[in-house]
Amino acid sequence: MDNILEKKISSQGWILADGATGTNLFNMGLQSGDAPEFWNLEFPEKIKKLYRDSIEAGSDLFLTNSFGGNSSRLALHNAANRASELSRISAELGIEVKREFDRDVIMAGSVGPTGELMDPLGPLTFERAVQIFVEQISGLKEGGVDLVWIETMSAEEEFRAAAEAAKIVDIPWIGTMSFDTSGRTMMGITSVNFVRMVESLSEQPIAFGANCGVGASDLLRTVLGFHKTGNILPIVAKGNAGIPRFVSGKIHYDGTPELMAKYAKMAFNCGAKIIGGCCGTTPDHIKAMRLSLEGCSHPVMPNLDDICANIGPFSSESDGTDGTKKRTRIRRVAR
């Protein structure tokens, strides 16, 4: 898998990942509070359409519908014993879709957080967290994923537990955290803290980065923080399509395809090699991002003013690395 990533990056300079899972499934009829992983069995054609739409829009890599497919989250739906099964099926559906295309597409098994607080803040021990992730990752591997994509993490110990599980299952992995609290994760980790944590792991990921958060501008600032550490692993940038707002009782992301095209190019310029979208990102956004990235060859590093001018203002004055946590109000700007 290292060679597949390296070959793709070497040939075109970047890898375009997919967009949102939840947003696109909600557009297909998923209801708030439902477990998306049940759709792997109940509506397999819709899950295959999710994957297919992403690839047809230009994605080189897509994530399986398994983000919340661990026993802890599934226990909320009385399905804790189905973690391995539902994750395996999410990958098997991806294999079917991959066979429809005559180009190499990478399938990454999505692994999200357990939703529990880890000891000493909560009841989840490190050993139990590893067991939970091993169960899910084993199902993804059995289903045929090319690698595991550990994402939207906020706590160091939970990230380490998922990484340990990937090591036990013996599968390549990519890891991302969500920096959504004044440049930090919810548990206080900065971009620099994250890089140093990754470097301390006994089993290194094949790429690392950031996803989700509070907007593309903040995510790009975090990516700059990764790049400045000098770590040579490929960096992932998977930002939301704009800022979430309530419209007619529903969450709507205000990022247009044109904005995400600018974001994709700027992510490349900030040093990211694997670029995609998170919440709010549809196939239309992915198409625009593909066209934008196809015009990229030699990155030109932007500064913070460049990011604000092209993507919009930051949600906080600092990225957290200077110890500052003061927030500023997000302003709506012309795109």
Q: Calculate what percentage of the chain has a pLDDT beyond 70.
A: 95
d(CA 244, CA 264): 19
pLDDT of the residue at 2:
59
DSSP string across 84-128? HHHHHHHHHHHHHHHTT-SS--EEEEEE---SSPBTTTSSB-HHH
Least confident of 198-207, 210-219, 301-310, 320-329: 320-329
pLDDT at 334 over 50: no
Q: What's the pLDDT tens digit per position in 45-57? A: 999 999 999 999 9
pLDDT at 324 over 80: no
Specify the DSSP element, H or E, that contains 5. Answer: helix 2-12
Sorting pLDDT into bands at 50, 70 and 90, what band is 43?
very high
Average pLDDT over residues 255-277: 97
Query: To 5 degrees, how large is the angle CA 155–CA 207–CA 226?
Result: 65
Which residues does 184 contact at the CB level (< 8 Å), separation at least 6?
Answer: 190, 320, 325
pLDDT at 330 over 70: no
pLDDT of the residue at 68:
98
pLDDT of the residue at 283:
98
Least confident of 52-56, 137-141, 328-332: 328-332
Fill in the amino acid letter for 66: S
- From residue 305, alpha-carbon distances to 199, 239, 310, 314 in Å are 30, 18, 9, 10
- From residue 127, alpha-carbon distances to 80, 85, 116, 134 in Å are 17, 22, 14, 11
Least confident of 224-228, 243-247, 261-265: 243-247
d(CA 97, CA 52): 6
pLDDT of the residue at 331:
33
pLDDT of the residue at 28:
96
pLDDT at 328 over 70: no
Pairing mode, if any, of strands 244-247 and 61-63?
Answer: unpaired
Q: Taking all residues of the chain, what is their mean pLDDT, rounded to a whole number?
A: 93
Average pLDDT over residues 161-180: 98
